[in-house]
Chain A
């Protein structure tokens, strides 16, 4: 990594937004390959994710890092020829959504983001999703993991119903199911029939790593 490249990685990882964007532009202007700039962004996100995992960074840092990534991505992507992007290796597929009756999405979005930067291919089907939507998505997307999100206590029953429906559709042995959000705990996991629950986004990442055999 050149000094200039290192500076971009550091600027993103250290939350220096005002520096990061001009540095990315300068790299491109100086002849860097667009793919290389995206790789550097991924390196920076690895650092951010690691610091989040260690409790040094929190949600504001994830959100700001995501914003920087989006801004740089918007500059870089038009420069890609189309051949470079496809090769990104993903660790596994995760289907995520907020269950029926619940409109909350902040936690779900953070989990989606963390899974994404940790190399998982994530399909987010949104909020207030009926069982049938999850079933259809499992059939079409064929994930290894299904993540059910919910903030309200009514979500306990919706999660249980969704797990039951996955069972009835004969898909239960094809997926691991994790639940998270609000007031979810071991009691709720047991009630819903999910395989595990998580209290935060890193717990979700770690569950997916375990289930898909990815080393941390």
Chain B
């Protein structure tokens, strides 16, 4: 690492740490986070970014060096997933080159991946349920694993006899296919890690480390689908509550393991089903917040920083979600009025957001500058603000608007 790079990295890391801890700063933090904007800004397609690891790194490097944000998110874990998903026959997304056109972002398929009567199976033995039912449904490569026996049913020489299952055509095929997918994932991660180091050497820290999930979203997004989980709130409330509780140690284990060795201690938690219009405040306080808070507290105990992206408008939730330790989290709001959030939460947590996607996409650089100036003066007053788009830089944002957003953090003092 050159002296310049090391000094820049230390300076940016200090600014980020001070901002999260709510210490006064002379600048708000800027960030480069996007799904696929780098493709369009770099003259490539979304499909290129899904499949060409090196190109994704090269383009991102060029954009980050040009825009000079205080931190950046590695594109690979978010968008360079095409080859591995193809090898494993991943079924819950459609992506550029595989279901969506080359220049369209990947999109999640909202389906029921766990049947309502299967809550008991998940609660009894989550791992067994994953192997026999869930994983075979979400990716072709796992289908053969359904032929495995219930492993704890084997004991003593039964375990010796049980080796025969692993020689079955189905299981053997599954492991072979998964190994190929795993090799591909390792290739991707090698490029990603190399790129992360290169950017650190140039002085740019990463904007997120591991990811975690709210237990309600874990069940809603990945198992029951949006309709299923809404019905479960009435039809099988106790099982839903029990399944959320059951998921917490698993969610934490993964995030803490990755977080312990990651350079970035911010744990990204995108929140999907908490917005004002979705469920009542009472339902939010019953179903959503308590299990999410447990996840957040589990991360904080391990010196990780929950970076919670509250999608949609969440104004009615602000008082409830204020119940967290001071200076230990980041609350990123998509559409919630950040000035209101500052008034309610400004003494408790660092805020992030929220230049509207419409402004970055259909506005002018001058409009973006004026918006950011106001946001820094109000939501950023005294520090504690990471300036970003509502959900990062939208894929269709104009370059000059993105530049204006990041430049504003250098132009206007909080």
Which residues on A are within 8 Å of B, measured CB to CB?
15, 17, 56-60, 63-64, 67, 101-106, 152-154, 156-157, 183-188, 190-191, 199-200
Contact = CB atoms under 8 A, between A and B. Distances in A.
Interface in B84-122: 94, 100-101, 104-105, 107, 109-110
B277 A103 contact: no
Given A103-B107, A104-B107, A153-B395, A191 B233 contact: no
B396 A154 contact: yes
Contacts of B283: 58, 60
B235 interface: yes
11 contacts: A58-B277, A63-B227, A106-B226, A153-B361, A153-B395, A154-B104, A154-B395, A156-B361, A157-B396, A185-B358, A186-B358
Q: List 5 tightest A-B contacts by C-beta distance, closest first.
A: A187-B358, A153-B394, A191-B362, A183-B357, A60-B230
Q: Considering residues A57, A63, A101, A154, which has the most beta carbons from chain B within 10 angstroms of its beta carbon?
A: A154
Given A153-B357, A185-B356, 10 more contacts: A57-B280, A58-B278, A58-B279, A60-B234, A103-B100, A153-B394, A183-B358, A183-B391, A184-B358, A187-B363
Nearest to B360: A153
Interface residues of B, number: 36
B231 A64 contact: yes
A59 B396 CA distance: 30
A154 B280 CA distance: 30
Contacts of A200: 277
Contact of B358 (A64, A156, A157): A156
Nearest to A16: B234
Interface of B: 94, 100-101, 104-105, 107, 109-110, 226-227, 230-231, 233-235, 277-280, 283, 313, 334-335, 356-359, 361-363, 390-391, 394-397
Contacts of B357: 153, 183
Contacts of A104: 107
Contacts of A188: 358, 362
A10 to B, nearest CB: 16
A183 B231 contact: no
A144 to B, nearest CB: 25
A198 B335 CA distance: 14
Q: Considering residues A57, A156, A183, which has the most beta carbons from chain B within 10 angstroms of its beta carbon?
A: A183
Nearest to A127: B107
Contact of A63 (B109, B231, B356, B396): B231
Contacts of B395: 152-154
Q: Considering residues B100, B104, B110, B390, which has the most beta carbons from chain A within 10 angstroms of its beta carbon?
A: B104
A214 B357 CA distance: 34
B278 A187 contact: no
Contacts of B104: 101, 152, 154
Nearest to A187: B358
A192 B328 CA distance: 41
Nearest to A191: B362
Contact of B107 (A57, A152, A187): A152
B305 to A, nearest CB: 26
